[in-house]
Each structure stands twice: as structure tokens, then as C-alpha cells.
Amino acid sequence: MILAKVTGHVVATQKSDELRGSNLLLVTKLDDDQQPMKDQTWVAVDSVGAGMHDIVLAEEYFALNKDRYKAMSVVAIVEKVFRDR
């Protein structure tokens, strides 16, 4: 599971049956200072209604059909992150 920021939307005119009706988002992994990491962006299926600039938890293994393909899924919208320093 990764902490990520929604950085864009993906529009697909044709989707597999499992993805029909799903919203596709671009998510960029965040570093320890919650800054977007270069070259760490994926397309994720939105299952929680996330929007642009939301901080989210994304999970690779919550895929719709792991036997056919791997998919990243947004599984939570993060309100706050607390950590000891």
C-alpha cells in the first residue's frame, strides 16, 4: 500500500468489462515529507470517490481480477497523516 496524491484523470473510450463504470485516476507516490516522487506515477481504479489533489491510499493487490491483470486501486481518502520524528 502506498500514500499517494491524485495528480490527474484518465479517460478511456473502451474498457474491459470489469472496469466499465469505473473512474480512472493518475496517482503519484509521496515521499516521507509528503512530496510527490518523480517517475512514481500509476493509473489507479477509484473505488472511494477521490478527486484532484486528494491524498489517498492506493493498493495493488485489491485488484478487480488479479488472474487477468494487475491493477492499482484507490482504497481510502486520507484526512491527516501523523508521525513521530
Closest CA to 56 of 65, 45, 64, 67: 45
pLDDT at 46 over 60: yes
**The predicted structure's pLDDT at residue 60:** 76
Residue type, 40: Q
pTM for the model stands at: 0.84
Domain ranges of the chain: 1-75
**Tens digit of each residue's pLDDT (9 = 90 or more) over 2-22:** 999 999 999 998 988 878 888
Span 14-40, mean pLDDT? 90
**Tens digit of each residue's pLDDT (9 = 90 or more) over 69-85:** 667 899 999 999 988 87
What is the CB neighbour count within 10 angstroms for residue 75?
17
Class of domain 1-75: mainly beta
